[in-house]
Amino acid sequence: MSDVIKHLDLSSADGAQLNMDALYQIMPSAFTEVRDEKTGEVARKVNFEVLRQLLGDNATDGDGEMYQFTWVGKNAARVEAAAPTTKTLRPVVEDSVDWDTTKNIYIEGDNLEVLKLLQCSYMGKVKMIYIDPPYNTGNDFVYHDDFARTATEEDLEAGNIDELGNRFRKNTDTNGKFHSDWCSMIYPRLMVARSLLTEDGVIFISIDDGELNNMKRICDEIFGSANFRNTILVRRRIKSLNSQFADNGLSTMNVAFEYILVYAKSEQFLMQALRQKKADASTKGRWDVFWSNADRPTMRYDILGFTPSTGQWRNGKEKAEIAVANYQKYLNEYSEEMTIEEYFEKTGIKEFIRRIPNASGKNGGVQHWVAPSDTMLRTSNWTDIEVSQIGKEIDLPFDNPKSKQLLIELLKLIRNDKDFIILDFFSGSATTAHAVMQLNAEDEGNRKFIMVQLPEETSEESEAYKAGYKNICEIGKERIRRAGKKIKADSPLTTQDLDTGFRVYRLDESNYENVSLSPKKYKQDQLDLFANNIKADRTDLDLLYGAMLAWGVRLDLPLQTETVDGCTVYTVNEGDLVACFSEGITDKVVATMAEKSPLRVLFRDACFKEDAQKINIYEQFKQALDWADDDAFKNIRVI
């Protein structure tokens, strides 16, 4: 009975299993049960013969000629995307701002590992992703995922990993696999990132000419070519004087163009129409035919004394009636004194609807007054947006920052929603976080950010290094701190409740010692690893947030702590998870935890003096919460 309470599986989501689960939802008949010869357990497996029959003529063996996009290392990259990780995220409270109340997150570490760790808690919950990955210019920093190597010593000798196991190097153009290595870097990250998007979510990817074609082909494969939405042309300040097509017309400084690829998760994503200022606004309005063609949906009203047989109103009936009344007022009281344009300038009324007497045609002569406007719908050319300089704004040294205003415009593309999660897993100087806070301050939104950045060291010659910032993460965190203070200081009356805080987490090796050897192979003084396999430098918060990641609990939820009989009880979001890691727990501790009506209950093995206590705990929660055996078996775990 010692196994009544199951151990929590602390590895990240298994990508292959996620694919299996998705396939099972649409083709359960393609699955069968097979006994594992090593473990003796029965597992669900795909019967490829049945799957082929279900697909009919829509399956291929991959032999012969076909359209495909591939490179050296693609298969390994695909396998890496599906492989789970045993690493964890450790909270860094001292680097955080407003830890207890903020909903924003900043994560330091290799973004592929981080994305995998986020899958259980954030799958299908991120509305928008923006990334500005390495462009593969031949000298920029590229994460190096050498899947063929397995020996840590070889990686260290080659300079491919740091002391934490992060794999990286510069991808110079002398590398024989120059483009292949870049594709292998970006491919698994996009595969995992896609799983985090909501069904109506969207990803924006900045890229330049060097890998634009490869990036689009990869995205066509991962997101589906039908979900491609647009390629936005933007500009970026560069230091190099070798740019062949600098924009001498828009600015005196050296400017080069780049692109933003837009891909939706599914057809459910709809972009918000944006407007921009016209260079020379018209001073006169115009009359337009009220509808454009007979194939569009109709909302026809008889407010003009007849019901047209085709077309649609611009507005609902109530607004249309007001527009008709506006014109009638002008016609009856002012038409002999002034033109419609003069009347508009005098009154500022923008909506008029009229019907031309004795007009022929299906629309019956109905026209709509279009008032003059100083804006127009934004096209896919966004080169009018200036590149911001964070140094001038908040006094931070950083080369080639992303444009804050550009990010704000992208955020505005999310239709009818000001409360969603945005993820940037190449966050650099944290421009995305800055843009989120700025836009929330302007439109009272409640958007939340997750920033992920590898702690890449700054060059000793750089202004950032000289200013004391030893890696990019230090710059990003400080930018968020300063930007948040400035936004609140600029508008103190309207930003009192604005969330400018963030919780910091740092990628690290597992919280647990490796106890994969059999007990007889351990020395006597090592046998306590089986009773307490937690590393000596790990805290309760390390264990708690590591377990939250594994159990699908979001990292931004509020946390309360209390002490009962000398034991610390942690309550996440009023009962999403209740945990205790103290030794010598009592019945009062268990009763206190049960009073929270928890969805999940977590202990560590060291909480229990003997196995019989585990059985008793199991029964106590069943009685207190009226759980069935299956409920208790599912909801209580130990680590």
Encode pLDDT of 119-168 as tens digits. Answer: 999 999 999 999 999 887 665 545 656 544 433 444 444 445 555 555 55
Task: Check residues 410 and 274 and name the one with the higher pLDDT.
Answer: 410
145-149, 186-190, 311-315, 512-516: the lowest-pLDDT one: 145-149
pLDDT tens-digit map of 399-418: 667 889 999 999 999 988 99
Q: Does domain 81-275+380-508 have CATH number 3.30.565.10?
A: no
- The separation between the first and the last C-alpha atoms of the chain, rounded to the nearest angstrom, is 17
Instruction: Give tens-digit pLDDT for 178-198.
Output: 688 899 999 999 999 999 999
Helix axes 111-122, 178-196, angle to 10 degrees: 20
Determine the Cα–Cα distance for residues 96 and 500; give it in Å rounded to an integer: 11
220 DSSP assignment: I
The pLDDT-based confidence of 312 (bands split at 50, 70, 90) is low
**Residues 267, 200 contacting (CB under 8 angstroms):** no
- Write down the number of H helices and E strands in the chain: 18, 24
Task: Considering only residues 84 and 153, tell me which one the structure prediction assigns the higher pLDDT.
Answer: 84
Among 416, 406, 380, 374, residue whose Cα is nearest residue 279: 374
Please determine, for residue 427, whether its predicted confidence score (pLDDT) is greater than 90.
Answer: yes
Provide the Cα torsion 288, 291, 293, 296; round to 10°: 150
Integer angstrom CA distances of residue 266 from 12, 45, 222, 229, 397: 25, 28, 12, 10, 39
Q: Which residues of 362-380 are buried (b: 16+ CB within 10 A; e: fewer)?
A: ebbbbbbbbbeeeeeebee
Residue 557 scores a pLDDT above 60: yes
**Distance set, CA 275 to CA 11, 72, 352, 378, 380 (Å):** 46, 44, 22, 5, 12
Local structure of 358: helix, strand or coil: coil
What is the reported pLDDT for 247? Answer: 45
| Among 416, 419, 289, residue whose Cα is nearest residue 362 | 289
Residue type, 485: K
d(CA 11, CA 113): 11
Q: Which of 479, 404, 406, 491 is nearest to 441 (CA)?
A: 491
Q: Which residues contact residue 460 at a Cβ distance below 8 angstroms, ignoring those fewer than 6 apart?
A: none
Q: Which of 61-65, 96-100, 263-267 has the lowest mean pLDDT?
A: 61-65
Q: CA angle, corner 205, sides to 410 and 501, nearest 5? A: 60
Given a cut of 90, whether residue 35 has pLDDT beyond it is no
pLDDT band at residue 390 under the 50/70/90 scheme: low
**Cα–Cα distance for residue pair 62/308, rounded to 1 Å:** 57
Q: Which residue's structure tokens are 């007001």?
A: 322
User: Which part of the chain has CATH 3.40.50.150?
Assistant: 81-275+380-508
**Which residue, among 437, 439, 449, 456, has the nearest Cα to 399 in the 3D structure?**
456
* Short-list 147, 146, 149, 138, CA closest to 211: 138
User: What's the CA gap between 441 and 533, in Å, rounded?
Assistant: 46
Residue 460 to residue 470: CA distance in whole angstroms: 8
* pLDDT for res 637: 93
- How many Cβ atoms sit within 10 Å of the Cβ of residue 511? 22
Share of the chain above pLDDT 70, in %: 79
pLDDT for residue 388 is more than 80:
no
pLDDT at residue 166, as a whole number: 56
Mean pLDDT of 108-126: 96
Lowest-pLDDT choice from 123-127, 346-350, 529-533: 529-533
Residue 572 DSSP SS3:
strand
Per-residue pLDDT for 175 more than 60? no
CA dihedral 271, 272, 278, 283 (to 10 degrees): 130
What is the chain's mean pLDDT, rounded? 82
Give residue 235's pLDDT band: very low, low, confident or very high (50, 70, 90): confident
